[in-house]
């Protein structure tokens, strides 16, 4: 007989005990606190107040403050490490800049020596005035470096008071139309793909020919060279603690979430997968034929189920993207005939269609991306590059807001609970929510 889940809604454990007083299923972790509550409620009102009074007097405020201050101390230590790491990276960048600048000046001086030698041999057509002008130009460059060094623009470090919130944070309704300007922007090569995914702690970015792991301050934590062909899509598996990468070369790989070591995934090789997404223990892949294939990830990667057209989409439609949250699978579906685009939400367990939402996208491009990412409160954000629009869709399938972005958005992810990361053709933009 399958055990029931614990009655505590935030608990993911199976129950082990049935409370006969209230007929509730409880795990062992919550049994003790539940028993204390039952015993407390069985007392008279006077006894309950007296128990509360005694409990209050036993509170050790100094100990509680000290325990919470340790959280602040850890944040301070982690922040100082990030600053030190950032400082170290900039020192290395400064040395590389100087090295490049000095090599350039040495190259120009060597060129001047050659021209001077040829001039003295009357083999050079450059006249003396031109040669003096070249010498003066090089001297001015060296004088500038000697006097001023290399220009460094340093902005003072600003601390947002909302970095640390004491007490319960106030939940505000998100309004896409009031999306703030990016507070951080990172340049990427236009020749990179649009791959980008987060494990909530770090952000993995396709920067061909490298994969780069960033923290929330856009500081590089780890990098590795990618030699396995253009990346089509990336997703994160919490169960495997790894990123799953599918490529245009009909290959798939596991990228370790800590050291970025790379392993081949043989069971899903040799098929042209178009997009991918993960739940904790399941992987969903979209094939070129618009099939959705489900693989189990634990205890090993193995085929589980498959859905084909017309169950996934109609014969004249194609799947642009796939994403999932805790219990919903989202498919972005476009039509070849009428150019319409729908966001279809399906049950993760049964694949039953729950809702289909028409997105007002004019003439979607087959080449440009339309991506979907899970958002706060089980909502969704859909980005569309052809007309540079963002759509905020709630969990019930209603469009809560739209926004025209200032650049073509190629990808978007929710980083933690308060950062929306949007990738364009050559930037990564961090927006505070």
- Residue at 171 is within a domain: no
Alpha-carbon distance 291 to 68, whole Å?
Answer: 50
- Residue at 344 is within a domain: yes
Count Cα neighbours of 54 within 13 Å in the Cβ-side half-sphere: 7
Residues 69 and 47 in one domain: no
Among candidate residues 148, 163, 190, the one where a domain is terminated: 148
Residues 70 and 55 in one domain: no
Alpha-carbon distance 239 to 56, whole Å?
Answer: 42
Which residues contact residue 85 at a Cβ distance below 8 angstroms, ignoring those fewer than 6 apart?
A: 219
What number is the average pLDDT over the span 20-30? 72
- Residue at 326 is within a domain: yes
- Residue at 413 is within a domain: yes
End-to-end CA distance of the chain: 45
pLDDT, tens digit (0-9, with 9 covering 90-100), for 403-413: 999 999 999 99
For residue 44, what are the domain limits? 17-59
Give the global pTM: 0.64
pLDDT, tens digit (0-9, with 9 covering 90-100), for 192-201: 889 999 998 8
Which pLDDT score is estimated for 37?
Answer: 64
- Residue at 123 is within a domain: yes
Between helix 28-41 and helix 45-57 the angle, nearest 10°, is 120
Which pLDDT score is estimated for 36?
Answer: 65
Which pLDDT score is estimated for 1?
Answer: 47
Residues 247 and 376 in one domain: yes
Tokens representing residue 26 in the block:
């409880």
Residues 227 and 333 in one domain: yes
Which pLDDT score is estimated for 168?
Answer: 61
Residues 253 and 352 in one domain: yes
- Residue at 166 is within a domain: no
Q: Using CB atoms within 10 A of its CB, is residue 397 exposed (0-12), middle (13-18) or buried (19+)?
A: middle
pLDDT, tens digit (0-9, with 9 covering 90-100), for 128-156: 777 777 888 878 888 777 777 777 777 77
Residues 353 and 395 in one domain: yes
* pLDDT of 126 over the 70 cut: no
* pLDDT of 169 over the 60 cut: no
Residues 91 and 217 in one domain: no
Residues 95 and 109 in one domain: yes
Nearest CA among 363, 412, 368 for reference residue 390: 412
Strands (E), 121-237: 184-187, 196-198, 203-207, 210-214, 220-225, 231-237
DSSP 76-95: HHHHHHHHHHHHHHHHHHHH
Q: If pLDDT is split at 50, 70 and 90, which confidence band does 334 have?
A: very high
Among 39-43, 77-81, 329-333, which range has the highest average pLDDT? 329-333
**Domains contained in the chain, number:** 3
pLDDT, tens digit (0-9, with 9 covering 90-100), for 207-260: 988 999 998 888 888 999 999 999 999 999 988 889 999 999 889 999 999 899
Residues 259 and 343 in one domain: yes
- Residue at 154 is within a domain: no
Angle at 197 between CA 193 and CA 199, to 5 degrees: 155
Q: What percent of the chain has pLDDT over 90?
A: 40
Which pLDDT score is estimated for 115?
Answer: 78
Residues 256 and 390 in one domain: yes
Which pLDDT score is estimated for 22?
Answer: 67
Supply the mean pLDDT for the chain: 85
Alpha-carbon distance 260 to 85, whole Å?
Answer: 19
CATH number for position 416: 2.120.10.30
Residues 219 and 304 in one domain: yes
Which residues contact residue 245 at a Cβ distance below 8 angstroms, ignoring those fewer than 6 apart?
A: 195, 228, 231, 233, 234, 252, 253, 254, 255
- Ranking 81-90, 117-126, 153-162, 233-242 by mean pLDDT, the lowest is 117-126
Among candidate residues 148, 164, 189, the one where a domain is terminated: 148
Residues 334 and 241 in one domain: yes
- Residue at 161 is within a domain: no
């Amino acid at each position: 007989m399958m055990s029931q889940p614990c009655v505590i809604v935030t608990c993911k454990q199976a129950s082990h005990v049935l409370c006969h007083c209230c007929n509730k299923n409880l795990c062992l972790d919550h049994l003790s606190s539940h028993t204390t509550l039952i015993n407390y409620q069985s007392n008279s009102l006077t006894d309950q107040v007296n128990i509360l009074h005694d409990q209050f007097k036993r509170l050790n405020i100094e100990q509680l403050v000290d325990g919470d201050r340790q959280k602040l101390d850890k944040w301070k230590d982690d922040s100082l490490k990030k600053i030190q790491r950032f400082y170290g990276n900039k020192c290395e960048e400064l040395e590389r800049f100087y090295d490049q600048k000095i090599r350039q000046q040495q190259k120009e001086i060597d060129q001047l020596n050659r021209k001077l030698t040829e001039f003295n041999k009357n083999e050079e057509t450059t006249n003396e005035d031109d040669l003096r002008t070249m010498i003066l130009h090089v001297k001015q460059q060296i004088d500038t470096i000697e006097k001023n060094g290399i220009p460094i623009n340093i902005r003072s470090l600003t601390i947002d008071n909302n970095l640390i919130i004491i007490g319960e944070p106030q939940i505000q309704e998100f309004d896409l139309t009031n999306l703030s300007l990016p507070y951080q922007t990172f340049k990427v090569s236009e020749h990179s793909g649009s791959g980008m995914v987060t494990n909530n702690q770090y952000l993995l970015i396709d920067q061909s020919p490298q994969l780069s792991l960033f923290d929330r301050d856009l500081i590089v934590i780890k990098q590795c060279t990618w030699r396995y062909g253009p990346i089509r899509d990336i997703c994160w598996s919490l169960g495997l603690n790894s990123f799953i990468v599918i490529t245009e070369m009909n290959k798939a790989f596991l990228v370790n979430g800590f050291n970025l070591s790379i392993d081949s995934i043989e069971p899903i090789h040799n098929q042209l997968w178009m997009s991918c997404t993960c739940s904790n223990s399941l992987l969903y892949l979209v094939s070129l034929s618009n099939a959705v294939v489900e693989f189990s990830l634990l205890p090993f990667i193995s085929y589980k189920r498959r859905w084909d057209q017309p169950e996934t989409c109609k014969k004249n439609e194609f799947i642009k993207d796939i994403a999932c949250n805790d219990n919903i699978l989202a498919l972005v579906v476009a039509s070849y005939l009428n150019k319409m685009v729908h966001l279809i939400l399906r049950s993760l367990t049964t694949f039953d269609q729950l809702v289909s939402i028409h997105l007002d996208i004019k003439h979607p491009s087959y080449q440009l991306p339309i991506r979907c990412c899970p958002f706060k409160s089980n909502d969704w954000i859909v980005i569309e590059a052809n007309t540079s629009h963002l759509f905020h869709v709630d969990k019930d399938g209603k469009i809560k807001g739209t926004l025209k972005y200032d650049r073509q958005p190629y990808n978007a992810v929710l980083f933690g609970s308060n950062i929306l990361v949007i990738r364009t053709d050559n930037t990564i933009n961090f927006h505070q929510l």
